[in-house]
Structure 1
Amino acid sequence: MSHTENFQTTAAELSRFLQRWLQGTPERSAQLQEISRLSFSKADFAQILQKEISSGASLNKAMRRLRNLVLATLIERDLNGQADMHEVVTTISEFADFVVAQHLTALDQEMRALYGVPVGEESGAEQSLIVLGMGKLGGYELNVSSDIDLIFCYAEDGETRCHEAAQRSLSNHEYFSRLGKKLIAAISEVTEDGYSFRVDMALRPNGNSGPLVASFGMLEEYFMVQGREWERYAWVKARAMSGQAEDLLQLEKIIRPFVYRRYLDFGAIDSLRSMHAQIRAEVVRQETRHPERSNNVKLGRGGIREVEFLAQVFQLIRGGRDASLRDRSTRNTLAILSEKNILDADIVTQLQQSYVFLRNLEHRLQYLDDAQTHTFPSKEEDQLRIANMMGYPQVAPLLDALQVHRQFVATQFDTIFKDKADDAAEAGEAQLIASLNSSEDEDLLISQFTDAGFHDAQEAARRLNAHWHSGRIQALSEASRQKLLALFNQAMRLTGTQAQNQLSCWHRFLDFMEAIARRSAYLSLLTEYPDALARVIRMMDASDWAAKFLTRHPLLLDELLDESALQARPDWSQFSQELEKELLAHRDDTERQLETLREMHHAMQFRLLAQDLEGQVTVEHLADDLSQLADLMVAATINAVWQTIATRHREKPQFAVIAYGKLGGKELGYASDLDLIFLYDDEEQDAPANYAKLAQRFITWMTSHTPAGILFDIDIALRPDGASGLLVSSIQSFARYQEKSAWLWEHQALTRARYCAGDAHIGQQFDAIRHQVLCQSRDEASLRHEVLQMRKKMRDAHPSRSELFDLKHDAGGMIDLEFMVQYLVLCHAHQYPELSANIGNIALLKRCGELGLIPDELAQRSASAYRSLRKLQHTIRLQGEDRARVAFDKVSQEVTSSQQLWKTLFSE
């Protein structure tokens, strides 16, 4: 793509604008040759502008001459292969910034001399005009011959403060309106030297019929009351080109909630699809009227706008939750989508290449005559000029390459934006709505469920009919009801052909749909991603608990979109880093930090649940993962909470969290609470009070109900002295308590305790104390008696009131096996210290068999029994049962092994 011989002449021959500019004065050729050796910087702009002004030119005249020089230089550098597309768009964008800044400064000085200084009515602070660059200017991706889309606003109403008698006070609105008009004229009026930029103000609130400038209050009210969907997309790229830092922060807080939703906004796909259809319809209309304009590289099929929409749709969907996706540049956004595996890396690479090709072609169309055109020329001579600029000797190869790029872009665009409904689906929806709206012929609806494969079609039809005619569904908009119909039609067929428990799955699905029906974004997600809907049906068929979990946390639907991420084993280091990064990003917003903790925990838990339901992990590995996840959440919460303690006396707390119970034994389930105690090792005077605040606030953060639910229930009853004890203990007092005051049951609990999070040195001290306590020599008879008494108390507290066997509480169940392990550890760890290791009940049972403390064969059977009971309990809990009970014959072998071990250990 290069022209090597006498290229300056060739560039001038190809670009009529460059040719005319060079012919303007003889010295321009030498000037261009010198300047085009290096790329422009803002310092270069300032230096050249000042030189023009020093020679007697006005600011307006000098700026227009500079603009022509900049454009000529970019044409020369680009066509000579010295500049790439990035340099071209960045240079012209930075020049636009420079133009606005120079004229705004000069005009504001003139205005202040006449009318005084604008100040805020409430704050009394000096006000300034904030110029927002929109569109490609906002993203530093401006075209060389583009107009610039601007919006003017200011922070506060008020009036100007006059310091001289000749000055006349104006309201801030009038002042900035006049300033804005002057700025537009200075930049865009055509003179003998041309113009600096054409200015388009149509994106401002209420468009060309609205006021030229808007106060922050006016802007915020407009967004809340009148802001339209397409304006959200425009404001994605809004970039402040002027203004004071504190005002810009306030403005950002106004813009962000209008543009970005806190939830995943999959409704953006449908909205952008509709907007794109309108644009395409207008392009087709123009092409029909003017066939010579039928090749539009910007708005045509597979053109620049479709690449921009591909990037922008994911910004709007996810930008509310992921700040990294709020970048204003199309190229940067595509790169981020690749990094986050939202789009395939190879596809993004090709999209980037196609985007560069299309933008280079667009520039060359504009190089011809410095015209804002995006259409391939109709004249053969001009077509050849464009082909030569692009490095092709003839037109046909260029058009072939263009077609390849446009076809690729169009294919990727269709993948995201094409309406997913096919003719068969639409026919099914039409039949379904006819059935639901027919009050006389119920058989019609039943027959559809029968055709879909339902065994009890009558009950399934009855439930759907009741659901459809409920007040909540009938109150929805027509668009939402139409989406619901489509989803019911698809889900009915998926459930009928794939579900093992059809009616249960169907009932769960309808409960889920009722919960999300008012959130059109969720309906859009399931509509746009049929595979996600199929996964929802599979999960609801497999588990009532999973169905309820997803119903409570529909944000998790997003997790269903990336199959590879859903199936991948957790990368705990990466998860921890992302969690820390997100909490740090919201360090001044406690509410958002609480939501972040819950959302990230639920998302990872949901991935583990998906793998669990697909049979990819064992119960033991799942418990390890859930425990690791809880550890990380505890650690992150402790760190975040410490930063909120205003009286904290050191940068990092000398404070540790110790886990007992299921978390301590790494046997955590999906809905398990956390048994925790808090220890510190700090001699500072403020330490006890600060760590008490830390512990209390930590519990609040964990247990508070937010829109995303709670994180964990926390149980602190196992702390020294129980409910009457201090919330936080020093490591020294904990050691004394365990040695002198703790009850035996507290030592039993200690067998399943471990350092969870916080100061690692305190964790090491805890491990040493734990080991010492567990390895104490104990009277065997006394130990046996106390363990039996404690087990009797627990059994009396959970009497059996069912003919079914309670896997946890009944004799021979899981608690019996856990008590026997604890007894073996406390009885023999003084002789075999390795028994103090917190390696889990199964491993400890096997180790006791190897040591000859119990018959090895019985140890193996008991370990297998515990594993089987845990797995069975987990399966039942997934079905939403609070108590895990089964017919005795289903677990008779496991219970027999457990009872034999009990008899071996505790028979007199």
Structure 2
Amino acid sequence: MNSSLTSLTSIALSNPQHPALRSRFLRRWLNAKETRIHELENIAQLSLSKAVFGEILQNEMAQGASLSAAMRRTRNLLLSSLIVRDLNGSANLHEVITTISDFAGFVVQTHLQQLMSEMLAMHGQPIGEESGEAQELIVLGMGKLGGHELNVSSDIDLIFCYSENGETQAGPEQRELSNHEFFSRLGKKLIAAISEITEDGFSFRVDMALRPNGNSGPLVASFGMVEDYFLVQGREWERYAWVKARAITGKAEHIAVLGKIIHPFVYRRYLDYGVIDSLRNMHHQIRAEVVRQETRHPDRGINVKLGRGGIREVEFLAQVFQLIRGGREPILRDRSTRKTLNTLAEKGILDQQVVAQLLLAYTFLRDVEHRLQYLDDAQTHIFPSNLEDQHIVAQMMGYADVSALNAVLIPHMRFVAEQFDAIFKDKSDKETEQLEAPNLSDPDAVETIELHLQTLGFQEVKSLAQRLASTWRSGKMQSLSESSQQKVSGLINSALNILAKRTEGQTDSLQRLLDFLEQIARRSAYLSLLSEFPHALERLLRMMSASDWAAKFLNRHPILLDELLDESVLHQVPDWSSFSAELHHQLQQQNGDIEAQLDSLREMHHALLFRLLAQDLEGRLSVEHLADALSKLADIVVDAVVRAVWQSIPNRHRERPRFAVIAYGKLGGKELSYASDLDVIFLYDDEDQEAPALYAKLAQRFITWMTSHTSAGVLFDIDIALRPDGASGLMVSSIKSFEKYQEKSAWLWEHQALTRARFCAGDQEIGERFERIREQVLRLPRDADNLQSEVSSMRKKMRDANVNRSDLFDLKHDHGGMIDIEFIVQYLVLRYAHDYPDLTANIGNIALLKRCGELQLIDPTLAVETANTYRILRKYQHNIRLQGEEKARVPTDKVAQVILASQALWNTLLT
């Protein structure tokens, strides 16, 4: 090794074609200072360990360089040495990636030590509030750094953690900080020290995107926060990321505690449904990424990382088996891709010859990747479009030209791709044992289908066979390409096998699926998705079996099929702040393109609504919690639309409108359902002479944005009938005129409606003023007899307008039903809020009934029973709506006992 490097002086002077000198980075580095050749020669005999890193660093600092400058110069020397050793054949892949990974750890540890000393001097030692122990920043290396397989020009993925919350133990002249603030500041300083670009370059680029909540989350996280995040929000793809997590700094005991938090999230005890689904989902993402890259940059060469058969697929093969089996077999928890592949071979999970060839391919691909990066010290994985640079890379690899290199590279990538597909295909093929399916294109298919359905155990085989045959013979199906017809046929037969295992709802489920397939038949992407991800088909059938409304919703929005791929995301608790921020960001990015904004609003709203629907159908949400979530979703959308519409109005006189949306009805009471209208009014508080016209335009456009049907569907129907003076009134009212109207002119029924009103979106000050007006109006003293008479009269008018001529009980309109209970609550609020101000709180009918019972305004037992009645009726109504029924009616005997309390309370108060 020494003789090779010692000869570098003559090489540099007389042989510019030497492989190492084909690196432009190396040439620039050598040419910048004459002594650099000798620096390389001086470390030629040394093993590049942390001790050597420290020695080089100290030498640089002894010459007057700061730690930051010395670290960057050390990095450049090491990288130059690795380039020479690698291209001379003196170092293999293992030495290259181990050295650069060790150096990254050295960089983090060294800078952290200095920065920690400075922070301690300013703020004192962070102490855990429970243990009383000194706290340290734990830096986790993720990705290839965590696996000790870093690229020479890679960024480093980091996550910052600390054990406990608490405060620093500050001295007299020190400023006390919370542990979180202390470590946040320390983390920011560490990132800057490592990644800031100076005249000496940088040590490493730093990426913090893998931390909990990504770039929108806090920079540092306590162990408690990490654990809560995993339990509530941790997504399936994050399990893949955390497989690689490796602590670079921190106390051993704290690292052990963190490991006990990470392992249950990453590794499951059994081969569970979610893991198999994640395999398919990640497979889809890899292919989608390749297609996107190739579509956007058709002139680019091979991507050795993301391309078909690239490095990512080798890593994925190893990680999938880690997640499937790592919970039960700790030996599979090693972070190294190469070690994991060897373990899979040793355990017989993968064939030894296959693993040997995979490792050869992996090594070759990584070597190519490094040579791409050696050119300019650039973080790239793609062959350059420049032919000369392609030729240089080929020569660095020891080949005469690119054709000779590709003759080896492409077979390696083809082999990786074949193994990737083979494992994927094997998994899905073994999932279900299916009976031989009938040929739907057979002219005598009806009889064949009848026999097949009967064998599977279906009921009503004649009608179902006729429907299947007619669907298949339809013009829409017959016009499909052969491949699409095969996919549709395969999906139908898979569905039959799935439904055959069920004892209820077979006919309805199949009918709904056929309607859906007819809807999406010409969209090959959707057919491919359902064909490629069998569990997505199972979920689709499950949802369709549970709800006709869900089936029709999917028919209208088949783009939501993508949501079925990852069950962890589908069942994730909504992160409202993230959703709101993402929605606003998307609309800002599309500012000026109203059509794109309308579609984005609808797609993002529908996607989150669909997730709530999935959780609802699987019993994860009560009716009350669902209504809260749907109302919150509507609030966010309303606020986003107001902001976006205002930006679209020319000649606006202020950056933010002095405008508010007030919610009434179901949205006002936070009792929204899937297909509810939004009852709203618009208020403003602006003395500008153009304000009335501008805010009227804002309100009109708001309604248009919400109600327009686009290719992505519709958001909400809007009802503004509750505005002052109703249909004859202005669309937008000033807050002053609204107050005057409510106090002087409003009808009693408008005050009833006000009991369920609240500020929804827009200007906060107007919202606060509205709430004060609302409370004042609701607390007005009222004549008890007159109030009772008017409420009863209004209820009679509504009942007369909705006569139930059936033998069923109308959950909403009949005596003792939901509207009766709502009127009871409104009456109680208007009757007693003058003496009991807390009754003006918009806390919902159930809570208000119970409060009135506690205050002895009504019989406490009757109050609780009526509240329970309301809850039960809402649940019945919700279930009926899910089946697509417009009128919520049930057999009277089903609710006869349930409504006794509400009827008794009505009769006590309002007759």
Please give the residue correspondences for 1:805-820 in structure 2 after superposition, counting only pairs within 5 Å: 805-820=809-824
Task: Check whether the contact 1:75–1:367 (CA below 8 A) recurs between aligned residues.
Answer: no
Which moves more between the two structures, 767-776 or 471-480? 471-480
Name the counterpart of 1:367. 396
Write the deviation string for residues 804-855 of structure 1: whole angstroms up to 9, x where unpaired.
0000011110000000000000000000000000000000000000000000
Q: 2:11 aligns with which of 22, 30, 39?
A: 22
Name the counterpart of 1:612. 616
CA shift, 1:690, in A, is: 1.2
The answer to whether residue 465 in structure 2 is matched with residue 457 in structure 1 is no
The answer to whether residue 833 in structure 2 is matched with residue 829 in structure 1 is yes
CA shift, 1:576, in A, is: 0.8
Q: Kindly tell me the number of residue pairs found equivalent between the two proteins.
A: 621
CA shift, 1:316, in A, is: 6.5
Write the deviation string for residues 27-61 of structure 1: whole angstroms up to 9, x where unpaired.
999996999768669999xxxxxxxxxxxxxxxxx
Alignment TM-score, normalising by the size of structure 1: 0.62
Task: Call closer, same or farther: CA 1:874–1:427 in 2, change over 3 Å.
Answer: closer
CA shift, 1:369, in A, is: 3.7
Task: Check whether the contact 1:659–1:753 (CA below 8 A) recurs between aligned residues.
Answer: yes
Provide the C-alpha distance between the structure 1 equivalents of 2:31 and 2:488, rounded to a whole number of angstroms: 55
Please give the residue correspondences for 1:359-508 in structure 2 after superposition, counting only pairs within 5 Å: 359-362=365-368, 363=371, 366-367=395-396, 369-372=398-401, 412-414=420-422, 428=436, 431-433=437-439, 436-439=441-444, 442-498=446-502, 500-508=504-512
Provide the C-alpha distance between the structure 2 equivalents of 1:850 and 1:321, rounded to a whole number of angstroms: 66
Provide the C-alpha distance between the structure 1 equivalents of 2:896 and 2:14, rounded to a whole number of angstroms: 103
Write the deviation string for residues 635-690 of structure 1: whole angstroms up to 9, x where unpaired.
11111111100111111111111100000000000000100011111122222111
Provide the C-alpha distance between the structure 1 equivalents of 2:577 and 2:524, rounded to a whole number of angstroms: 35
Task: Call closer, same or farther: CA 1:418–1:889 in 2, change over 3 Å.
Answer: same
Provide the C-alpha distance between the structure 1 equivalents of 2:825 and 2:287, rounded to a whole number of angstroms: 56
Provide the C-alpha distance between the structure 2 equivalents of 1:591 and 1:35, rounded to a whole number of angstroms: 47
Provide the C-alpha distance between the structure 2 equivalents of 1:30 and 1:519, rounded to a whole number of angstroms: 51
Q: What is the one-letter code of the residue matched to 1:747?
A: H
Aligned residue for 1:801, secondary structure, equals coil
Task: Call closer, same or farther: CA 1:373–1:316 in 2, change over 3 Å.
Answer: closer
Name the counterpart of 1:194. none
Q: What is the one-letter code of the residue matched to 2:11?
A: L
Aligned residue for 1:508, secondary structure, equals helix
Provide the C-alpha distance between the structure 2 equivalents of 1:426 and 1:755, rounded to a whole number of angstroms: 56
Q: 2:769 aligns with which of 765, 774, 777?
A: 765
Task: Check whether the contact 2:304–2:365 (CA below 8 A) recurs between aligned residues.
Answer: no
CA shift, 1:582, in A, is: 1.4
The answer to whether residue 622 in structure 2 is matched with residue 622 in structure 1 is no
Task: Check whether the contact 1:702–1:714 (CA below 8 A) recurs between aligned residues.
Answer: yes
Cα RMSD of the aligned pairs, angstroms, is 4.5
CA shift, 1:747, in A, is: 0.4
Task: Check whether the contact 2:852–2:863 (CA below 8 A) recurs between aligned residues.
Answer: yes
Please give the residue correspondences for 1:305-344 in structure 2 after superposition, counting only pairs within 5 Å: 313-315=287-289
Aligned residue for 1:883, secondary structure, equals coil
Name the counterpart of 1:699. 703
Provide the C-alpha distance between the structure 2 equivalents of 1:466 and 1:633, rounded to a whole number of angstroms: 42
Alignment TM-score, normalising by the size of structure 2: 0.61
Task: Call closer, same or farther: CA 1:607–1:26 in 2, change over 3 Å.
Answer: closer
CA shift, 1:438, in A, is: 3.4
Name the counterpart of 2:726. 722
Share of identical aligned residues, percent? 51
Aligned residue for 1:682, secondary structure, equals coil
Task: Check whether the contact 2:311–2:362 (CA below 8 A) recurs between aligned residues.
Answer: no
Task: Check whether the contact 1:627–1:663 (CA below 8 A) recurs between aligned residues.
Answer: yes
Please give the residue correspondences for 1:236-255 in structure 2 after superposition, counting only pairs within 5 Å: none
Provide the C-alpha distance between the structure 2 equivalents of 1:327 and 1:579, rounded to a whole number of angstroms: 35
Provide the C-alpha distance between the structure 1 equivalents of 2:500 and 2:768, rounded to a whole number of angstroms: 56
Which moves more between the two structures, 584-593 or 541-550? 584-593
Q: 1:8 aligns with which of 5, 9, 13?
A: 5
Task: Check whether the contact 1:699–1:714 (CA below 8 A) recurs between aligned residues.
Answer: yes
Segments of structure 2 that go 5 or more residues without pairing to the other structure are 34-78, 101-150, 154-281, 314-318, 324-333, 340-358, 372-392
Provide the C-alpha distance between the structure 2 equivalents of 1:606 and 1:311, rounded to a whole number of angstroms: 21
The answer to whether residue 835 in structure 2 is matched with residue 846 in structure 1 is no
Q: What is the one-letter code of the residue matched to 2:652?
A: R
Q: What is the one-letter code of the residue matched to 2:367?
A: L
Provide the C-alpha distance between the structure 1 equivalents of 2:312 and 2:874, rounded to a whole number of angstroms: 43
Provide the C-alpha distance between the structure 1 equivalents of 2:296 and 2:766, rounded to a whole number of angstroms: 36
Task: Call closer, same or farther: CA 1:487–1:42 in 2, change over 3 Å.
Answer: farther
CA shift, 1:360, in A, is: 3.4
Aligned residue for 1:498, secondary structure, equals coil
Provide the C-alpha distance between the structure 1 equivalents of 2:572 and 2:559, rounded to a whole number of angstroms: 20
Task: Check whether the contact 1:436–1:445 (CA below 8 A) recurs between aligned residues.
Answer: no
Name the counterpart of 1:76. 84
Write the deviation string for residues 744-765 of structure 1: whole angstroms up to 9, x where unpaired.
0000000000011111111111
Aligned residue for 1:497, secondary structure, equals coil
Provide the C-alpha distance between the structure 2 equivalents of 1:799 and 1:853, rounded to a whole number of angstroms: 31
The answer to whether residue 592 in structure 2 is matched with residue 588 in structure 1 is yes
Name the counterpart of 1:782. 786
CA shift, 1:408, in A, is: 8.0
CA shift, 1:74, in A, is: 9.1
Q: 2:572 aligns with which of 568, 572, 581?
A: 568
Q: What is the one-letter code of the residue matched to 1:695?
A: A
Provide the C-alpha distance between the structure 2 equivalents of 1:754 and 1:335, rounded to a whole number of angstroms: 55
Write the deviation string for residues 275-304 of structure 1: whole angstroms up to 9, x where unpaired.
xxxxxxxxxxxxxxxxxxxxxxxxxxxxxx
Please give the residue correspondences for 1:277-296 in structure 2 after superposition, counting only pairs within 5 Å: none
CA shift, 1:335, in A, is: 13
Aligned residue for 1:894, secondary structure, equals coil
Task: Check whether the contact 1:499–1:537 (CA below 8 A) recurs between aligned residues.
Answer: no
CA shift, 1:442, in A, is: 3.8
Write the deviation string for residues 491-550 of structure 1: whole angstroms up to 9, x where unpaired.
111112136211111111111110011111110000000000000111111110001001
Task: Check whether the contact 2:289–2:306 (CA below 8 A) recurs between aligned residues.
Answer: no
Task: Check whether the contact 1:36–1:73 (CA below 8 A) recurs between aligned residues.
Answer: no
Provide the C-alpha distance between the structure 2 equivalents of 1:799 and 1:456, rounded to a whole number of angstroms: 37
CA shift, 1:76, in A, is: 2.3
Provide the C-alpha distance between the structure 1 equivalents of 2:715 and 2:432, rounded to a whole number of angstroms: 44
Task: Call closer, same or farther: CA 1:417–1:687 in 2, change over 3 Å.
Answer: farther
Name the counterpart of 1:713. 717
Aligned residue for 2:648, secondary structure, equals coil
Q: What is the one-letter code of the residue matched to 2:5?
A: Q
CA shift, 1:7, in A, is: 5.0
CA shift, 1:716, in A, is: 0.4
Aligned residue for 1:676, secondary structure, equals strand
Provide the C-alpha distance between the structure 1 equivalents of 2:505 and 2:303, rounded to a whole number of angstroms: 49
Task: Check whether the contact 2:635–2:761 (CA below 8 A) recurs between aligned residues.
Answer: yes
Task: Check whether the contact 2:810–2:888 (CA below 8 A) recurs between aligned residues.
Answer: yes
Which moves more between the two structures, 585-594 or 25-34? 25-34
Segments of structure 1 that go 5 or more residues without pairing to the other structure are 13-18, 45-70, 89-141, 145-307, 338-342, 387-401
Provide the C-alpha distance between the structure 1 equivalents of 2:709 and 2:527, rounded to a whole number of angstroms: 25
CA shift, 1:25, in A, is: 2.3
Write the deviation string for residues 192-225 of structure 1: whole angstroms up to 9, x where unpaired.
xxxxxxxxxxxxxxxxxxxxxxxxxxxxxxxxxx
Task: Check whether the contact 1:664–1:754 (CA below 8 A) recurs between aligned residues.
Answer: yes
CA shift, 1:22, in A, is: 3.3
CA shift, 1:474, in A, is: 1.1
Q: What is the one-letter code of the residue matched to 1:314?
A: A
Provide the C-alpha distance between the structure 2 equivalents of 1:43 and 1:814, rounded to a whole number of angstroms: 83
